[in-house]
Amino acid sequence: MRQAEVTNERVTVRPASSDDVPLILAFIRELAEYERLAHTVDTTEACLQRTLFGQRPEAEVLIGEVDGEAVGLALFFANYSTFKGRSGIYLEDLFVRPHARGVGVGKALLREVARIAAARGCVRLEWSVLDWNTPAIEFYRSLGAQPLDDWTVYRLTSEGIARLAGA
């Protein structure tokens, strides 16, 4: 566990455990509400238990705490650069509860993901941010992150995947 002193409060970051599944789901729902996407959340504790802590985990989660109170999470997974021939990390979600923003939890979580990426020899750390989310954009820029203006994200949802697969 890594610890950092931030404005007289103790901020800690720890790996999530299977006992954290209800908390992780609560964070996901709060993030979806913030992003105006609550209507799209249909995961369950059982699904998260299986996909995050089952036989073949599909992603990893870090929990950020202030004075022992869980207030944020970072959820990430490996991606791969064919041009570099090496792995990277994709940060799917970074969320800090509103009352704990501004004390360094987000930075501590992102710093820990960066440490993990560095330790694994990753060539990149990437994420997406909604265009309207100015506070997040400013936060990421303050850390030195740059937008990839030449790229557009495309997505197929379950229905589109099934249709393309010929199901």
Active-site annotation, residues: 140
Which secondary-structure segment (H or E) carries 160?
helix 158-165
CA 30 to CA 4: how far, in whole Å?
25
- Identify how many contiguous H helices and E strands the chain contains and give both numbers: 5, 6
CA 75 to CA 63: how far, in whole Å?
9
Cα within 13 Å of Cα(26), Cβ side: 10
CA 23 to CA 37: how far, in whole Å?
19
* 81 CB neighbour count, 10 Å cutoff: 13
CA 14 to CA 154: how far, in whole Å?
32
